[in-house]
Amino acid sequence: MSENTSTRKYKLSTEVVRVSYDDSWHSSSAPLYQSATFKAPDTLHMGKYDYTRSGNPTRTIVQQQLAKIVGCKQVWVVNSGMACLDAITRLLKPGDEVVSGDDLYGGTDRLLTYVNDNGGVKVGHYDITNTELVKSKITEKTKMVVLESPTNPLMKIVDLKSIADHAHKVNPDCIVVFDNTMMTPLMMKPLELGADIHYESATKYLNGHHDIMAGMLATNSPELADKLYFVINSVGSGLAPFESWLLLRGLKTLSLRLERQQSNCIKIASWLEEQGFKVRYPGLKSHPQYELHKSQTKGPGAVLSFETGNIDLSERIIHNVDIFGVTVSFGCVNSLISLPCKMSHASIDPEVRSERGFPEDLIRVCVGIEDIDDLIGDLDQAITKAKENKQ
């Protein structure tokens, strides 16, 4: 018996709650198949599933749910956001060239640097806010363009459509890859803007509770879907059944969480700006790419970064917060604060960070669903204590 299999389409905030699956007992919550293997009907025929590395019914349910939300032909879920990029970079061959940004999540930069140093692939990093510069670097040898927007943590915006269209014109086989972790499919649809592969760290908003690691790969290309599946099945990076089940549960509140997190973040960004800090947030009119971001998304999201002008002051602010968790990652229901140069982006060589204009005093704030007055009150007391030079 199928649950919720009507083909009627609803708004995304409704669709995230409606999950389709087969269950002979009509369970209200999708079944968890915590099994590594599946019995074959007989020795001559295998069933739909044989071994969880190759496929698992609970993983299939979350993949179908995500494909519906993304609005694409195929989604694969894997065991981390980085496992997505690992599968993607295995599509490259020695001699290929990759064009990417100069502000990327530290782990993305680390893996692309590894591929550059060990895989015979040339990876170039350019200021992605300079669309013409990025376009000029795309040649027939460019087999892949890897972008993220807003970037983590400088909140730079990439003109995805313009770059994707150009890349496909120069080389129709060029694979445009877009990391949409900051926006989620509810706020940005990279495949509709020309990306060939849309991936996300589902550890962040898609799950929303910091209780699993997961990644999502989405594409409309059956050929790319097959190639990615080959890697996932070969190396065993498919998301485990319990993690798939938790991701499915977390997804149901995605719309509600994002709405509250974003509205809190907009208020915090304005408040920090009023205190005189240089705030990087695409929801502020002072963001140099405010209009571009607005034109390709449905909202500014719930991550911002700001500079204090002094790394010691930044460290003292972080030391003095009470509600904000001092931790890497973002997209969780809890608010988080961090110093990217020493935490999420410590894997980028300090010299490279400096060449790329990465401010060491930069504080990243990832806003949760708590009461906004409490959040601003907490930042206020932490900043006051830090300015008084108190630990």
Ligand X SMILES: N[C@@H](CCSC[C@H](N)C(=O)O)C(=O)O
Ligand Y SMILES: Cc1ncc(COP(=O)(O)O)c(C=O)c1O
Nearer to ligand Y, 171 or 203 (CB): 203
d(CA 197, CA 186): 16
Q: Which is nearer to ligand Y, 81 or 300 (CB)?
A: 81
Opening angle at CA 188, ends 184 and 193, nearest 5? 135
What's the closest the beta carbon of residue 352 comes to ligand X, in angstroms? Answer: 15
- Binding partner of residue 382 among ligand X, ligand Y, none, CB cut-off 5 to 8 Å per kind: none
Counting contacts by CB under 6 A, is residue 103 touching ligand Y? no
Which entry of ligand Y, ligand X, none binds 80, CB below 5 to 8 A by partner kind? ligand Y
Locate 103 and state its tokens.
Answer: 């502000």
Pair 243, 212: CB distance under 8 Å = yes
β-pairing, 278-280 with 303-307? antiparallel
290 tagged catalytic: no
Quick one: which of 63, 80, 89, 129 contacts ligand Y (CB under 6 A)? Answer: 80
Residue 272 found at the interface with ligand Y (CB under 6 A): no
Nearest to ligand Y of 108, 296 (CB atom): 108
* H or E element in which residue 64 lies: helix 57-70
Classified as helix, coil or strand, 145 is strand
Establish if 213 lies at the interface with ligand Y (CB under 6 A): yes
316-333 burial, b for 16+ CB within 10 Å, e for fewer?
A: bbbebbebbbeebbbbbb
Neighbours of 289 (CB within 10 A): 17
Q: How far is the CB of 151 from ligand Y (least distance, A)?
A: 8
Active-site residue among 53, 122, 141, 227?
Answer: 53
179 is catalytic: yes
CB of 108 to ligand Y, least distance (A): 6
Neighbours of 199 (CB within 10 A): 29
Report the C-alpha gap between 287 and 20 in whole angstroms.
Answer: 41
For residue 148, state whether it binds ligand Y (rule: CB under 6 A).
Answer: yes
Q: What are phi and psi of 143, to 5 degrees?
A: -95, -15
Q: Which CB, 14 or 347, lies closer to ligand X? A: 347
Nearest to 160 by CA among 173, 147, 170, 169: 147
**Residue 76, both tokens:** 């694969």
Catalytic residue among 21, 33, 49, 105: 105
d(CA 240, CA 229): 15
CB 306 within 8 A of CB 270: no
Stretch that binds ligand Y, among 75-83, 93-101, 313-321, 333-341 (CB under 6 A): 75-83
With CB cut-offs between 5 and 8 Å by kind, which of ligand X, ligand Y, none does residue 213 bind?
ligand Y
Residue 156 C-beta: closest distance to ligand Y, Å: 12
Least Å distance, CB 330 to ligand X, is 6
* CB closest to ligand Y, residue no: 81
Residue 347 site contact among ligand Y, ligand X, none (CB < 5 to 8 Å, cut-off depends on kind): ligand X
Residue 319 is given by DSSP the state: H
48 labelled catalytic: no
Part of the chain binding ligand Y (CB under 6 A), chosen from 28-36, 48-56, 104-112, 280-288: 104-112
Give catalytic status of residue 322 as yes or no.
no
Shortest separation between residue 198's beta carbon and ligand X, angstroms: 17
Q: Which stretch binds ligand Y (CB under 6 A): 78-86, 121-129, 132-140, 367-375?
A: 78-86
- The tokens for 382 are 């932490």
Catalytic one among 204, 257, 280, 364? 204
82: left (phi over 0), alpha (psi -120 to 50) or beta: alpha
List residues near ligand X by CB under 6 A: 105, 107, 152, 328-330, 344, 347
Longest dimension (CA), the chain: 76
Distances (CA, A) of 180 to 64, 74, 185: 18, 16, 8
Among 103, 159, 179, 243, which residue interacts with ligand Y (rule: CB under 6 A)?
179
Question: What positions carry a catalytic annotation?
Answer: 53, 105, 179, 204
Chain contacts with ligand Y (rule: CB under 6 A) = 80-82, 105, 107-108, 148, 152, 179, 181, 201, 203, 213, 215
